[in-house]
Structure 1
Amino acid sequence: MKIVVQVVEKVYQEAHIHLPDGLTEEAIRQVITDRYNSGEMTPDLNIFQVDFESISATIVQQPQEAA
Structure 2
Amino acid sequence: MLNLQHLVRQLTSKGVAVKFIKESMVLRPGEQDAISTLLFSLMGVFAQFERDLIREWRFEGIG
Task: Assess same fold via TM > 0.5.
Answer: no
Bigger strand fraction: 1
Ranked by relative contact order (alpha carbons within 8 Å, sequence separation 6 or more), the top structure is 1
Query: More helix per residue: 1 or 2?
Result: 2
TM, length-normalised to structure 1: 0.30
